[in-house]
Structure 1
Amino acid sequence: MTSPVPTVAETSRSPRQVIEALIGLLLGMFVSMLASTVVSTSLPVIVHDLSGDQAAYTWVVTATLLTTAISTPVWGKLAALMNRKVLFQVSILIFVLATAAAGFSQNPGMLIAFRAVQGLGAGGLAALSQVIMADIISPRERGRYMGLFGAVMAVATVGGPLLGGVITDAWGWRWNFFVALPFAVAALFIVQR
């Protein structure tokens, strides 16, 4: 059985190509993590504006985390069967569309549903960025680049709630969903190359 994606040994990439690919992957990982954390500080405002209750408050976050956790191994299995670059692009598209739709939600049910779909895309971004990185970086050099992924995850995890609070105060809670979109679109274009 042949692999749908060439391995490190089968392809030779210039350092510039590797860096460009890593930038796209890191942006994808960043928006995936940011989406989970940026709304946390604005949840009281969101639930109030959408006339939600305590259950809605909980499910706005849980829906994304749950579908991310469930979909991550599915994306991993798909990566073993299909073109990984295309899968990464599909996960970005799912993420972008669901994130934009979540920003336009008119009630808690809509927001929770779009956050669940957002989690499907985020699961793909998380899983596929790691798989693709393993494809383009030799095992000997992989540890150095894994540190970059860890740093991006830390920045998004710590900075997300801070950014969410500032955005909510300045422009309103809906902008928490729109702030990651330019990064996701940039990742899509960078990975396209």
Structure 2
Amino acid sequence: MGHDIPTKIACRFTEGYLTEPGIGSINVAPSAFASSSSDPLVKLLGSDEYGTFFPLQGSTPLKLKKGVWYKMEIFLFDAEDKRINLQFLEPDQIEKHQFFFNLMSKNSVVPKGISYYYSDFIDGQLLETPVGFTGYIRVNEDLEDTDLRLMLVHLKKGDKYEADGKPNPFDKPSPRVLEFGDLTAYLPFQIDK
């Protein structure tokens, strides 16, 4: 596989303002985001022996505001609580991995329920190829019983690019890309009006 198996996830959300990039761009530089909060929201997920992720007890419910941008950072940990993000950002792993995100309500995908831009950096440089450990997310719909679905795909053959040379959009992975995944997690949250 080239990396350890994730057994815990921490998601950090920092509220702020985003200057959106031009049409067709899926990446945005960190300079386009200005934080408006010094108190980020953090949600922790653990997994069982089957790889099913669930919110850890004692973590406070997550509330995200509709129409507000958040910097979302994902931290993966192995069974020994060691952070393993960098393993997925090795040159031979970047082309095989990508996070996809969907707003779910009552177990169904909500089309255009969220907006998202990738913003992964290595050695001070914005990655042209999206991975999804860092990005910017906005909830576009006011719904109840919501989850944010996080899927980290891992291509066993080839790379994550389609025939046109472009990666898949953040919310619409092609069937070819979905052949194997390192994780799928559902992050429950409430939409704050």
Settle same-fold status: TM greater than 0.5. no
Counting helix residues as a fraction of each chain, which structure ranks higher? 1
TM-score (structure 2 length as normaliser): 0.25
Larger Rg: 1
TM-score (structure 1 length as normaliser): 0.25
Counting strand residues as a fraction of each chain, which structure ranks higher? 2
